[in-house]
Amino acid sequence: MNKNIINKNKTYIIFSILYIVLNYSSNVLAGNEQRSGQAGATELLINPWARSSGWGSINIANASGLESTYLNVAGLTGTSNTELIFSSTNWFSDININAFGFAKSLDNQTVIGLSVMSMAFGEIEITTTEQPEGTGAFYSPSYINIGFSYAKKFTDNISCGSTVKMISESISDLKASGVAIDAGVQYVTGDKRQIKFGIALKNVGPKMQYSGDGNDIRNENTTSHGQNYAMTYDLRVESFEIPSSLNIGASYDFTLDSEHSVTIASSFTSNSFSKDQFGLGFEYNYKSLFMLRSGYVYEEGINKEFNRGRSTAFTGLNFGLSFEIPLSNDSSFGLDYSYRMSNPLSSPNSIGVRLAL
């Protein structure tokens, strides 16, 4: 009797989470591609991890381990003990993205995680209206996102999770800070647990706004006596929204034999400030030692020239591979690489290392 009550409570919690995700998303995702460019903190849409970006980030349903904190945090329950990941991305040549993550299983059902992503833009020369060629001084923007994640298995088939993100964008005299929340659910079924479904709502949070001395304007005011008085004015800036999205995915595992398997995955992403996207991809797995993957992400106009119907630098195709080296005591060391095709900008390359303890 008590067991039935517990199962009913678990089912109630799971469906409550699904209801909140779907109901809230209908209000959050009221935008369309006509609102492109109106959102800020768009670095939240960049997948910094080398393994999952080789799919084109379409593995919403079968994401597992620490990298799922970007895709679908419910997959964090795939962490068996402890997982560490470091990833570096050369983003369109001039920008470097570094990401670090840590996940720890507290028991057979609960996992917590910490992820940090930073963007380095290098030094940018300061220009003014009086010195448009440069003042000789430089500044360096700093973008940092920190995520705290929690995921739990409610049953053998259903996992749920959430992430709270701290967002920071700053230069020496200007800063914007914000908070965003992700929530996700994964469902696994089939005789061999080969069928998976996932849904994730990402980047839900209040508006952000820049503040600081960088908003100040200094003007000279002339009185009737011919004297100048320098006065500083605070220029008010408009607040901006963050780019929320609803992501739905499915996958199926085909076991070819004891050593070879292939996973087919698909996804749909509804973006609040850009075009909706559809993804399809696969991953070949050899004894969990070598993995080769590819994904294609389609959105309206992606086959056209840039700025002539195509509103993204990416052309759709993504490729990746991974090597896993078994270590002692069921631990392993992994090396991941991904390549995301783009035009006219140079294609981003990501490389990452993973340690499972």
DSSP letter for each residue of 201-243 = EEEE---B--BSGGGEEEEEEE-TTS-EEEEEEE-----BB--
Residue type, 257: D
Burial of 180 (0-12, 13-18, 19+ CB in 10 A): buried
Model confidence at 28, pLDDT cuts 50, 70, 90, reads: very low
What stretch of H or E contains 26?
Answer: helix 2-28
Q: What is the mean pLDDT of residues 129-140?
A: 87
Write down the pTM of the prediction: 0.87
Q: In this predicted structure, what is the pLDDT of residue 225?
A: 60
Does the structure show a pLDDT above 70 at 181?
Answer: yes
pLDDT at 1: 45
Least confident interval from 119-133, 144-158, 266-280: 119-133
Nearest CA to 161 among 45, 67, 58, 82? 67
pLDDT value, residue 31: 45
Cα 88 to the center of its chain, rounded Å: 14
> What average pLDDT does this structure show over 30-57?
84
**What is the distance, to the nearest Å, from the Cα of residue 178 to the centroid of all Cα atoms in its chain?**
16
Instruction: Check residue 23 and give its pLDDT.
Output: 57
- Token pair, residue 114, equals 């910490």
* Per-residue pLDDT tens digits for 58-104: 999 999 999 999 999 999 999 999 999 999 999 987 899 999 999 99
Residue 257, burial from CB neighbour count under 10 angstroms (0-12, 13-18, 19+): exposed
CATH C-level class of 2-356? mainly beta
